[in-house]
Amino acid sequence: MNFSSALVTFPDKEWAKSIAEEIIKKKLAACADLFSIESIYRWKGNINNENEVGAVFKIRSEDFEEFSECVRSLHPYEVPCIVSYEISNGTDDYLDWIRESTIRD
């Protein structure tokens, strides 16, 4: 079984916490690590500089499509950042915890 870290950005902590709780409740992620970020990006021809909140979710790689669909359905952005990175190495006990935390009935 393969695991990934999925990065999602949000406009503020309230949005990040609300969506993270829903994702974890649905067992699409084992956890979400939230952190403050400053984003500089081009959107509709303008350069923007915004404070945002990033979240790194620990997920099963096979669940990425369902995870991203769920995030998109709840997210306020027109085009949210939702990307994943394969976890190539990790301790057995941590990876087991991700697996056990994302088992759905």
Q: What is the pLDDT of residues 18-64, one digit of tens each?
A: 999 999 999 999 999 999 999 999 999 999 999 999 999 999 999 99
pTM of the model: 0.95
Look at residue 66 and tell me whether its pLDDT is greater than 90.
yes
For domain 3-101, give the fold: Alpha-Beta Plaits (3.30.70)
Which backbone phi and psi does 102 adopt, to 5 degrees? -115, 15
Percent of the chain with pLDDT over 90: 98
Q: What own/partner pairs with CB < 8 Å and gap ≥ 24 does 12-20 have?
A: 12/52, 12/53, 13/53, 15/53, 15/75, 15/76, 16/53, 16/54, 16/55, 18/74, 19/55, 19/71, 19/74, 19/75, 20/55, 20/57
Any idea where the domains of the chain sit in the sequence?
3-101
pLDDT band at 103 (very low <50, low <70, confident <90, very high): very high
Q: What is the reported pLDDT for 105?
A: 79
